[in-house]
Amino acid sequence: MKIYKSKYRNHWISPYTMLEKICFWEKDSDVFYNIEDKPNHPYEKWVDRLSYVSKAIQWFLDKIHPRFEYVEIDYWDTWSMDHTLGLIILPMLKQLKATKHGSPLVDDEDVPKELRSIYALPREAWDTDGNHFKRWDWVLDEMIFAFEHKLNDDWQDEFRSGEADWKHVACEWDENGKATLFQMEEGPNHTYKCDYDAINAVQKRIDNGFRLFGKYYQGLWD
């Protein structure tokens, strides 16, 4: 896979910015703003005229310096597409959590009881509750947890210990005394232990993290 994605382009140059640069003798820059609210302002007509220049400059720069997005998929990228996407999504989730400004609405049913809105009333009637941003942090953490474990094929090893020693012991025979069915029994050196309850609990949390990723996918922006 090859991906190249340039940063967002901003080629707009405001008429007010142009006026401020052209009329360098004006000491107070506020004179160039809110001109439309000031009747008979000496620069009002220039704002209208320069707006065409601003649009022309923007059009020209957008043409010669466009935003570039390029994605090339190799056939092996879809052998384990879930893993391939995880390599991209995980660092993006971590960066979003570290640099975000604000958060989307998160339903109380998706977070632990102590983070629900009813336990942190807003300071004002119009304001968000005290747990509003904490809920989004918690949801992002659960997404990150899910993708971290998706990329770690050995995450279950921490719940296993010891060595397995299994032997096949005959438990049924035919009329000639030949064994037809065997069962597995622990050998003398069997020390293997596995906490299946813990594995199931982690897997349940992983599944929920992916569920939250799907539900709040359209909230993954800053």
pLDDT digits (tens, 9 = 90+) for 106-159: 999 999 999 998 887 776 666 788 899 999 999 999 999 999 999 999 999 999
pLDDT one-digit tens code per residue, 149-206: 999 999 999 999 999 999 999 999 999 999 999 999 999 999 999 999 999 999 999 9
Tell me if 137 is assigned to some domain: yes
User: Looking at per-residue confidence, does 191 or 19 come out higher?
Assistant: 191
Q: Are residues 86 and 132 in the same domain?
A: yes
Considering only CA atoms, give the Rg of the chain.
31
Q: Are residues 147 and 210 in the same domain?
A: yes
Last residue of a domain, one of 12, 37, 70: 70
Last residue of a domain, one of 48, 70, 92: 70
pLDDT of residue 72: 94
pLDDT of residue 110: 97
CA-CA distance, 121 to 124, in Å (whole number)? 9
- Residue 95: which pLDDT band, with cuts at 50, 70 and 90? very high
Closest CA to 165 of 206, 193, 207, 203: 193
pLDDT of residue 66: 87
Which tokens go with 195?
Answer: 């906490």
Q: Are residues 55 and 87 in the same domain?
A: no
Q: Which domain holds residue 119?
A: 80-158+196-219
Residue with the two structure tokens 């008979």:
40
Number of domains in the chain: 2
Last residue of a domain, one of 13, 39, 70: 70
pLDDT one-digit tens code per residue, 23-75: 888 777 667 666 666 667 777 778 888 889 999 999 999 898 888 889 999 99
Q: Are residues 27 and 130 in the same domain?
A: no
pLDDT of residue 28: 73
Which tokens go with 117?
Answer: 């809105």
Which tokens go with 173?
Answer: 């025979």
Instruction: List strand residue ranges (DSSP E) for the chain, in order.
Output: 2-5, 69-72, 160-161, 166-173, 179-186, 193-194
pLDDT one-digit tens code per residue, 79-91: 999 999 999 999 9
pLDDT of residue 38: 64
pLDDT of residue 23: 82
